[in-house]
Amino acid sequence: MSLKGKRVAILGAGRSGRAAAALAHAEGAEVHVYDAAAEVAGLPEGVAAHPGAGIDTGRNCRCDLLVVSPGIDTYGPLVGAFSAGAGEAIGEVELASRHFDGRIIAITGTNGKTTTTELVERICRHAGLAAVACGNYGRPVCEVVRGDEVPEVLALEASSFQLETIVDFRPEVAVWLNFAPDHMDRYPDVDSYRRAKLRVFRNQTAADVAVVRRGENVGELAARRVEFAVDDSGADWTSDGRRIRRAGVEVLDLETGSHLRGRHNAENAMAAMAACEAVGVDPATAAAAFDGYAPPRHRCELVRTLDGIEWLNDSKATNLHALESALSSQLRPVVLIAGGKEKGLDYRPLLRLLGERCAAMVTFGEISAKLADLASHVVPVEPVTTLAEAVDAATRHAQRGHTVLLSPGTSSFDQFSGYEERGDAFCRLVNQLK
């Protein structure tokens, strides 16, 4: 795709927007970046900045190509206004893929994407393939493909927001980890969210591979389907939560060498190994890459043990499926800290699990009162406002032999800039306890 002499409008001046602008400019386009913020900084020299952009700005914008950042609602009025005068509207992932000739492993799902993406990168590198983790995790894809050393393989974490704006994007391997309701503040219903994620398979052919968790409803696939499952002998890859088997033959013991634990991490490991096998990495080589691997921060991360109480940071649990997974994996009575932004999620399906696993619960943030009122029927609950207050409350409820688990079950944007800031704040507060 030649951009030389084309007028390209980038909507959104965040990291992915700046990376898209740099790529388009390097390809010879006339690039304009639009953002609602009062100031726009960090753009490459020669790229025009348009701060304070709104719907009226969009109505007056004319361009050959519009590139929409994933944080902006694809179907909202702002994108609608800019799209009206655009020859074509795509996203940053689509733009990057049109300028990349290597192999793409795209990983999607509601939970486990980041761990699986890291593992794909690690396994490929261990096998001698130049690979980079990018997309929704790691570096923006446009930044990677225009670098001095372009990798052979992209381990690309693909969010539903990014997949909304693909057109020709075709991963050689598409990984579907799982599905559960999320982002109901952006999508009108669960089916709309599912359809956005299913677009990862949209352009695959019989020459490609789809790695899918057994039992997931992904419809008819053109690609060859490879399945993984915990406790299911009918899948290509199986596990008991610790040992990984390929076609019934054990190829990896997660407790020997790696720091991965639990059924959900066994699924992530199987998905990564299956994806890498599809690009030529044999299971034995893939298994060796797990030696010394620790999962990303903020995912059931042990912060400290104090007076016989374990404190776990699971701030990355920004939806109910992740909260359920974390809570189900605990062997000790739990004091759960949950809450944050109101995303329109239905917590009622979790009530039974809360009653079974929790000694107490502390709620905080925008959803604190609503969540406390719902959960108080099955577990003692103390509603508070801030995370600092939640940690103080948890110390009053937790006893020796308990686990205090920060697993919010929703996003952090009511009080924090992201789950990382929330998790870091939790770790600081816990390490200050005496």
First to last CA, the chain: 60
What is the rounded average pLDDT for all residues in the chain?
A: 93
In 329-418, which ranges are continuous DSSP H helix? 351-357, 368-375, 387-397
Residues 236 and 333 in one domain: no
Residue 372 CA to residue 123 CA, distance in Å, equals 43
Q: Of 235, 232, 225, 274, which is closest to residue 251 (Cα–Cα)?
A: 274
pLDDT: which is higher, 232 or 5: 5
**H helices, E strands: number in the chain:** 15, 20
Residue 271 CA to residue 287 CA, distance in Å, equals 12
pLDDT at residue 65 above 70?
yes
Q: Is residue 294 part of a domain?
A: no
Residue 68 CA to residue 91 CA, distance in Å, equals 5
> What's the pLDDT at 297?
85
High-pLDDT (> 70) share of the chain, %: 98
Q: Is residue 341 part of a domain?
A: yes
Q: What are the tokens at 306?
A: 């104090």
Q: What are the tokens at 199?
A: 């677009």
Q: Is residue 1 part of a domain?
A: no
Residue 142 CA to residue 134 CA, distance in Å, equals 9
Residue 33 CA to residue 53 CA, distance in Å, equals 9
Give kind and range of the element (H or E) at residue 87: none
Catalytic residue among 25, 32, 126, 183: 183
Residues 195 and 274 in one domain: yes
Q: What are the tokens at 158?
A: 């693909």
> What's the pLDDT at 182?
65
Q: Of 36, 42, 43, which is closest to residue 8 (Cα–Cα)?
A: 43
| 341 classed as catalytic | no
Q: What is the CATH number of the domain that holds 82?
A: 3.40.50.720
CB 308 within 8 A of CB 400: yes
Residues 251 and 311 in one domain: no
pTM, rounded to two decimals: 0.78
How many Cβ atoms are within 10 Å of 201's Cβ, its own excluded? 24
Q: Is residue 393 part of a domain?
A: yes
> What's the pLDDT at 181?
61
Residues 248 and 101 in one domain: yes
Catalytic residue among 25, 32, 113, 298: 113
Residues 230 and 342 in one domain: no
Positive or negative torsion for Cα 86, 90, 92, 96: negative
pLDDT band, very low/low/confident/very high, at 363 (cuts 50, 70, 90)? very high
Residues 71 and 123 in one domain: no
| 183 classed as catalytic | yes
Q: What is the mean pLDDT of residues 126-131?
A: 98
Q: What is the mean pLDDT of residues 116-139?
A: 96
How many Cβ atoms are within 10 Å of 366's Cβ, its own excluded? 18
Q: Is residue 92 part of a domain?
A: no
> Which tens digit of pLDDT belongs to each residue from 304-332?
889 999 999 999 999 888 898 889 878 78
Q: What is the CATH number of the domain that holds 263?
A: 3.40.1190.10
Positive or negative torsion for Cα 419, 424, 425, 429: positive
Residue reference for tokens 């993406």 = 117
Q: What is the mean pLDDT of residues 193-217?
A: 96
> What's the pLDDT at 60?
97
Q: What is the mean pLDDT of residues 37-53?
A: 94
Residues 66 and 123 in one domain: no
CB 179 within 8 A of CB 194: yes
> What's the pLDDT at 241?
85
pLDDT at residue 185 above 70?
no
> Which tens digit of pLDDT belongs to each residue from 218-255?
999 999 999 999 987 789 999 988 899 999 999 999 88
Amino acid identity of 38? Answer: A
Amino acid identity of 219? Answer: G
Domain, as residue range, for 249:
97-288
Residue reference for tokens 């502390």 = 362
> Which tens digit of pLDDT belongs to each residue from 156-181?
999 999 999 999 999 999 999 998 76
> Which tens digit of pLDDT belongs to each residue from 377-393?
999 999 999 999 999 99
CB 135 within 8 A of CB 141: yes
> Which tens digit of pLDDT belongs to each residue from 130-155?
999 999 988 999 999 998 889 999 99
Residue 246 CA to residue 51 CA, distance in Å, equals 53
DSSP 3-state of 25: helix
Residues 280 and 241 in one domain: yes
Burial of 39 (0-12, 13-18, 19+ CB in 10 A): exposed
Residues 101 and 83 in one domain: no
Amino acid identity of 158? Answer: A
Give the chain's length.
Answer: 434
| DSSP output for 142-165 | HHHHTSSS--SEEEEE--HHHHTT
The total domain count for the chain is 3
Q: Is residue 47 part of a domain?
A: yes
Q: What is the CATH number of the domain that holds 344?
A: 3.90.190.20
Catalytic residue among 25, 32, 126, 136: 136
Positive or negative torsion for Cα 388, 390, 393, 397: negative
CB 324 within 8 A of CB 395: no
